[in-house]
Amino acid sequence: MSKKASVLQKCLQIMPIIGLLFFFVLILYAYHHGIFRSSTSLQAFIQEFGKYAVIVFVLLQVIQVIIPILPGGISSVAGMLMFGNGFGLLYSCIGLVIGEAIGFLLVRYYGVAFVQLILSPKKYQKFDELLTRKTKDIKKVLVVTLLLPFAPDDLICLVAGLTKLSFREFMQIVIFLKPWSVGVYSMIMLFLFHQAQGHL
């Protein structure tokens, strides 16, 4: 391998890490300005981007899978309130499926070190337990987890990246079942949101 090719390969290897650091900075900025405190503040932030709001929302959902920055369901509820139930769910699914694909590939490439980077010690312990117990039946576990709306499917998807499950099989399962999981979960969260709003 030539020296230039070697330098290029090293640059490509560190680019995802640089990207993650950049997103960490953005997340800290958003937390400081209260953007993630409620679905209302999140909506206001996304709507500032005007015609690019959909793109920003989808990117937020991608990041949300890799770096869980929001309490469960807030981003999906915000999307449904902004774009309507149908389009909100569609944009959520697009972002979340892309995020699952990226997370799977990053774990497969960087291994456990990447998981330790993005998960809190408590979540990493849960990840480690799942990795120990579920690796042999990962396809079955992935299917069951995606069928149950409140199950930790993002963690199982990270576990899948360290198994022999092919990327193609992984994506087939996620694309087929993730919309169901997102749809049921989001509709329940939206209902609870409206109930809470009605009691204010």
State pLDDT tens for residues 132-157: 776 667 888 888 888 887 777 888 88
The band of 12, judged by pLDDT with boundaries at 50, 70 and 90, is very low
pLDDT recorded at residue 200: 45
Q: Is 35 helix (H, G, I), strand (E, B) or coil?
A: coil
Query: How far is the C-alpha of 30 from the C-alpha of 73, rounded, in Å?
Result: 18
pLDDT recorded at residue 51: 81
pLDDT recorded at residue 198: 56
Rounded to an integer, the average pLDDT of 35-64 is 76
Rounded to an integer, the average pLDDT of 63-78 is 72
| 39-45 long-range Cβ contacts below 8 angstroms, 24+ apart | 39/74, 39/77, 39/78, 39/81, 39/193, 42/70, 42/74, 42/75, 42/78, 43/78, 43/81, 43/82
pTM of the model: 0.73
Q: Taking all residues of the chain, what is their mean pLDDT, rounded to a whole number?
A: 76
Q: Where are the alpha helices (DSSP H) in 84-120?
A: 85-110, 112-118
What residue type is 174 in one-letter code? V
pLDDT recorded at residue 162: 84
Q: What secondary structure, in 3-state letters, does 61-79 show? A: HHHHHHCCCCCCCHHHHHH
